[in-house]
Structure 1
Amino acid sequence: MGVRVGARAWVSAGVAAVAVVGLATPATAGTSGVTARETVCYGGTTICNNTYGSGNAVSEVIASRNLNTTAEFGFFELFGPGTYKQTGPTNRESDHTFRVNASFPAGSLICVSFWNRNANGSFTKVGGRNGNACTSTPIG
């Protein structure tokens, strides 16, 4: 069973995994060594965060967006506790994989957002200040 978001489908061992906080399932084939996944979406399926890892260790985060509700061009941003931050490339892709390979304190928020590129070259965060899709540690 898959859930279609943008131009891609997510498949999760027969479980639809969109807009479900705290869903922990076995890793999919593309994530070696990962024991759990937590998925959360902002705005239905506008921006989604699939965090992979075990306990407080995060191996990777796959950020995705629904191309029907966000601009054609922009970038994903990943941020966590303290000053932890990664920014994806500015492009038209519907998802981006962030390699994290780090441990965070229990209760840490791991968040993704998407920034639309405006006609004048500036960027606007989808959903405003609250447009974040956040998971938390421990994963699973």
Structure 2
Amino acid sequence: MNPVTEFTPLASIAGGALIGLAAVLLMALHGRILGATGILSGLMRGGDARDWQLRAALVAGMVLAPVAILALTGWSPAITIPVSRPAIVVGGLIVGVGVSYGGGCTSGHGVCGNARFSRRSIVATASFMATAFVTVFVIRHLIGA
């Protein structure tokens, strides 16, 4: 079995540029790092009302942006998930444990930390990428899923 991957360079470049712009603006305007996991966990904890409002606005934007694109363009990407629900749950739990041990997620380390030349983030990002490469190789070539 040879899985097909859609390559979308323009959408990928635009998305990456928007993530980078959001990270720069959050740092410039609020002195905060755009780490999605940290933002979400802080939202769940509560605390300072202004901090909570900022986190809520960021999460709402992440959720509502695809809805806005659909409303403006009438286009929505086809989303197919080629694995079972239990596999998604297990994968989510593994990622959650990794985020906890790694002290952050791909957006915090990969986008913001690397831009600040943080050694910790560079090592974390290299670990994320190496793990992803090995996982894809094992699943596609050794297990054959």
Q: TM-score range by the shorter chain?
A: under 0.3
Relative to the length of structure 1, the TM-score reads 0.22
Relative to the length of structure 2, the TM-score reads 0.21
Q: Which has the larger radius of gyration?
A: 2
> Which structure: greater strand fraction?
1
